[in-house]
Chain A
């Protein structure tokens, strides 16, 4: 592949060549003198931590933002891209991390949007049907053109995005974190499709933070750090460890070192928890689980299968509709709810999944965020006034111990990066020395360096005898941290495995509830 790549490069100009791209947002330099060359018909990975500037660079290539300076060449021609319409005209398509689809439209209407083929919809639709059928057959992108996009599973929506780009004649395709919302099986299917596209001459740029994906599918890889392009490698000539080091700028421990667990007594016991939401939908369906002191229990599953609701019920945010929950000796059910504040008194701490919305208040100073929920503690407040000096000093200590940067308690919470916000929230919850710690998506939007730190903190909590419940959509995280793994599907726990016996393939099948479907098919 690489030999072919270099020999054709003299005959064909590269699909994309970026030279000296600069872009800043206010005082932040998002891209600094970035160069990038992508040969025709290759899959090119771009890796980097959050905020490294990958998405900005691709948004510039797609015309969503304008570069402050720099040159974009497409197919050897200088090609100014002033907006997405210019990119589309140059044959560049993009599949965004958050799908750019209209839920109330059919698949066909979504594909047509922007390429309707005339002032009236009728004739264009007929022509589009035929073209879509051809694309589906060519690339294995089956999807019902008359289905409403809002009714489709995430994997299928992504196919609609791919079809949209191909329908508009894209031969250069940018994918931004395409596997974030997919099950491992869906991701594998996507990679087959991408490989098929490359073999037909489509050039693909893949932005991701998952190094195993880079190793599995790309031909070349470029690494970004702090807005700059720091390295270009042929994938075959590099390793995950090297890429991780290039991304962070120092050596990183990818696997978490931990000793065997020594579980103690059951501290939290859930028995048949169900939750019916305000719209009358059953979100949790008879969930039973035990949490023991000194173990980490991981909850795996595709987003939206009841994990968020489970955290809400266990932390007291919502009472269960049915079933019982015991925390130490306190029994909680629908008629005896337990407010989050009381849960805290029971020594249960909660690091919520969505820290921006539930873990902190963006406009509050860091010292205020650092005591949220514990603000009635006599250490922080007198009868009327907060003890500001004491709180700021306390926050200083937390920032020091949890390596929160910049270590300034007066800055507003939203001026910290994702990783530093998360460390601040973790510091707040962990330093109370809870018996039970509920953690949702601890490393979502957090860079590799901080991930390592957060993982170490969770393991240390386990060693200190805390019972940790870890909810994460990152399967690797679940596999490397947990002692036991529970898999959720449609509000139910569909499987439990000891971490020692688990692998990604097996958990992935459980996440899609594939074994049950297969059984049903066999029986039916």
Chain B
């Protein structure tokens, strides 16, 4: 019983860890799509910032400088996306895909030429990583039944980016529903002409949204290489940017439902790791490949059947042009 309970706690603990980049990236996607820009390039921005963060953290031995570099790299890519599809009204999907492909190649190329480790950065240790924070008294209460493990395993013992990610949810909610910026942001994604005629620049709103998106993706990417992992591995974001887009749609472009969607996808991921090599009654041992595919299969099923019609911001994906 105690053993099983601890197993459940550990699964939830893993859920939290793998959900962090999903939450940050999904909120990033939510903000840009609310402004009417589709960003398929969440994945590429995270990968670029994972690399920039690891490379900088290794060179400077500072996780914080790594985070800064990750955010800068991601924001620059966001601005590139903006230059292509806001300023020049290019196709937003094409621009996003191009950024993903660019980053996928560029990180490996730079990695090989700088570190000669087949595209990886050297492993990060000490201050070059965001280390776990232990809450006061976590060790002392570890043996208290039920609440002890919840406090010491589930709540305590994560790095600061994990707490930051969960804090971002209420912050984004407050930003889009309670501030002037949020009102204008939502209006820009629904009816940019209404924003323009109210004397507000649509282009400026969309660029601001992209910068916020870049910052959040930058934190998410840095978490991959300097928080969750210890160094950069090629393609280490492994499609999480796309899962984040799915979670954003699943959560219907609203922060709190998006959080739960991310936790669900994270949970499926965590379970997949747990189930490897485990005998399941009747079925027997599941092939690893099937278990690894499970989150993606469920994503498709959930998106296809369970969320009903997801209505995107009306102007999403459409470049703004004054008509005459």
Alpha-carbon gap, A109 to B183, bound state (A): 8
Provide the residues of chain B in CB contact with A94, threshold 8 Å: 197
Q: Kindly specify which of A96-104, A207-215, A292-300 makes contact with the partner chain.
A: A96-104
Chain B residues lying within 8 Å of A476, measured Cβ to Cβ, are none
B184 — which chain A residues lie within 8 A by C-beta?
A: 113-114
Q: CB within 8 Å of B: which of A193-252?
A: none
User: B190, A102: Cβ atoms under 8 Å?
Assistant: yes
Is A88 part of the binding interface, using a Cβ–Cβ cutoff of 8 Å? yes
Residues of A within 8 A of B76 (CB): none
B164 at the interface (CB under 8 A from A): no
Given contacts A88-B199, A114-B198, contact A100 B178 (CB under 8 A): no
Q: In the complex, A56 Cα to B196 Cα: how many Å?
A: 16
Q: Does A271 contact B (CB under 8 A)?
A: no
Return the contact of B324 from the options A56, A85, A100 (Cβ within 8 A).
Answer: A56
Q: Given contacts A88-B199, A100-B194, A101-B191, are A65 and B186 in contact (CB under 8 A)?
A: no
Shortest A446–chain B CB gap in Å is: 19
Known: A101-B194, A116-B183, A120-B179. A25 touches B199 (CB 8 A): no
Q: Does B322 contact A (CB under 8 A)?
A: yes
A113–B184 CA distance with the chains assembled, in angstroms: 7
A121 within 8 A of B: yes
Given A100-B191, A102-B187 in contact, is the A84-B196 Cβ separation under 8 Å? yes
Q: Are B190 and A103 in contact (CB under 8 A)?
A: yes
Instruction: Chain B residues near A112: list those with CB within 8 A.
Output: 183
Given the known interface contacts A56-B324, A83-B199, A84-B199, the answer about A102 and B179 at a Cβ–Cβ threshold of 8 Å is no
Q: Are A64 and B179 in contact (CB under 8 A)?
A: no
Give the Cβ gap from B226 to chain A, nearest Cβ, in Å. Answer: 33
Let me know if A119 is at the binding interface, CB within 8 A: yes
A103-B178 CB under 8 A given contacts A25-B324, A112-B183, A114-B198: no
Q: Which residue of A lies closest to B323 (CB)?
A: A98
Are B183 and A121 in touch, CB under 8 angstroms?
yes
Which residues of chain A are near B88, meaning CB under 8 Å? none
| Most chain A CB atoms below 10 A, which of B178, B179, B184, B197 | B197
- Whether a CB of chain B sits under 8 angstroms from the CB of A139 is no
- A94, B199: Cα distance in complex, Å: 12
Contact of B195 with A by CB under 8 A: yes
Kindly state whether residue A378 has any CB partner on chain B within 8 Å. Answer: no
**C-beta contact mask, B180-204 vs A, less than 8 Å → 1, else 0?**
1111101100110111111110000
The minimal Cβ–Cβ distance linking A163 to chain B, given in whole angstroms, is 13
Assess the A100–B193 pair: CB atoms within 8 A. yes
A54 CB, nearest partner CB in chain B, Å: 12
Asked if B187 and A105 sit within 8 Å, CB to CB, the answer is yes
Chain A contact residue count (CB 8 A cutoff): 36
Would B180 and A102 count as touching, CB distance under 8 A? no
- Contact partner of B179 among A105, A109, A115, A121, CB < 8 A? A121
Query: Are A105 and B186 within 8 A (Cβ)?
Result: yes
Please measure, in the bound complex, the distance between the C-alpha atom of A104 and the C-alpha atom of B194, giving whole angstroms: 13
CA A56 to CA B183, docked complex, whole Å: 29
A82 CB, min distance to chain B CBs, angstroms: 11
A59 touches B (CB below 8 Å): yes
Chain A contacts of B324 at CB under 8 A?
25, 30, 56, 59, 65
Interface residues of B, CB < 8 Å — how many? Answer: 22
B14 to chain A, nearest CB (A): 37
B197 and A64 contact, CB distance less than 8 A:
yes
The residue that A113 contacts in the complex, of B178, B179, B195, B314, with Cβ under 8 A, is: B195
B194 and A102 within 8 A (CB): yes
Q: Is the CB of B198 within 8 A of A113?
A: yes
A114 to B194, CA, bound (A): 10
The A-contacting residues of B in range 176-232, CB under 8 angstroms, are 178-184, 186-187, 190-191, 193-200
Q: Is the CB of A113 within 8 A of B322?
A: no
Contact B190 A114 (CB under 8 A): no
Q: Which of B180, B195, B322 contacts A118 (CB 8 A)?
A: B180
What residues on A are CB-neighbors of B322 within 8 Å?
64-65
* Given known A64-B197, A65-B324, contact A113–B190 (CB-CB < 8 A): no
Query: A122: CB under 8 A from chain B?
Result: yes
A87 to B196, CA, bound (A): 12
Contacts A64-B322, A103-B190, A121-B178 known; A113 to B183 CB distance under 8 Å?
A: yes
A114/B179 in contact, CB under 8 A: no
Question: How far does the Cβ of A520 sit from chain B's closest Cβ, in whole Å?
Answer: 34
How far, in whole Å, are A102 and B188 apart by their CA atoms in the complex? 9
Question: Which among A100, A103, A120 is the interface contact of B198 at CB below 8 angstroms?
Answer: A100
Contacts of A122 in B (CB 8 A): 178
A112 to B314: give the CA distance in the assembly, Å. Answer: 20
From B180, B190, B199, B314, A121 is in contact (CB under 8 Å) with B180
Cα–Cα, bound, A304→B193 (Å): 23
Contacts of B194 in A (CB 8 A): 100-102, 110, 113
Inter-chain contacts of B183 with A (CB < 8 A): 105, 109, 112-113, 116, 121
Per-position 1/0 for A369-382, Cβ under 8 A of B: 00000000000000
Task: Give the residues in chain A near B200, CB-CB below 8 Å.
Answer: 85, 113-114
On whether A113 and B187 interact (CB within 8 A), knowing A119-B180, A121-B179, the answer reads yes
Chain A residues, CB < 8 A from B178: 120-122
Q: Which residues of A contact B186 (CB under 8 A)?
A: 102, 104-105
Q: How far is the CA of A310 from the CA of B179 in the complex (A)?
A: 46
List residues of chain A with CB within 8 A of the CB of B197: 62, 64, 84, 94, 96, 100
Which of A85, A88, A102, A104 is packed against the most chain B CB atoms within 10 Å? A102
B191 and A103 contacting across the interface, CB-CB below 8 Å: yes
Partner of A102, one of B181, B182, B191: B191
Query: How far is A96 from B181 in the complex, measured between Cα atoms in Å?
Result: 24
Question: In the complex, A263 Cα to B124 Cα: how many Å?
Answer: 91
Measured between alpha carbons, how far is A124 from B183 in the docked complex, in Å? 12
| Distance in angstroms between the alpha carbons of A38 and B303 in the assembled complex | 57
Q: Bound state CA distance, A98 and B187, in angstroms? A: 16
Rounded to whole Å, the gap between the CB of A487 and the closest CB of chain B is: 32
Query: Separation in Å of the A137 CB from the closest CB of chain B?
Result: 24
Tell me which residues across on chain B come within 8 A of A64, comparing CB atoms.
196-197, 322
- The residues of A that contact B199 with a CB separation of less than 8 Å are 83-88, 114
Which chain A positions have C-beta within 8 A of B182?
121
Q: How many angstroms between the C-alpha atoms of A100 and B184 in the bound complex?
A: 13
Name the A residues within 8 Å of B314 (CB-CB).
Answer: 103
Task: Give every chain B residue within 8 A of A109 (Cβ-Cβ).
Answer: 183
Q: Considering residues B195, B199, B314, which has the most beta carbons from chain A within 10 angstroms of its beta carbon? A: B199
- Interchain CA distance A84-B191 in the complex, whole Å: 16
Q: 29 A-B pairs, CB-CB below 8 angstroms?
A: A30-B324, A56-B324, A65-B322, A65-B324, A84-B199, A85-B200, A88-B198, A98-B193, A100-B193, A100-B194, A100-B197, A104-B190, A105-B183, A105-B186, A109-B183, A112-B183, A113-B183, A113-B194, A113-B195, A114-B195, A114-B198, A114-B200, A116-B180, A116-B183, A118-B180, A119-B181, A120-B179, A120-B180, A121-B182
Q: Which are the 3 A-B pairs with shortest beta-carbon distances?
A: A114-B198, A85-B199, A100-B194
Q: A85-B200, A88-B199 are in contact. List 14 more A-B contacts (CB 8 A).
A: A30-B324, A64-B322, A83-B199, A84-B199, A85-B199, A94-B197, A100-B197, A101-B191, A102-B190, A113-B198, A119-B180, A121-B178, A121-B179, A122-B178
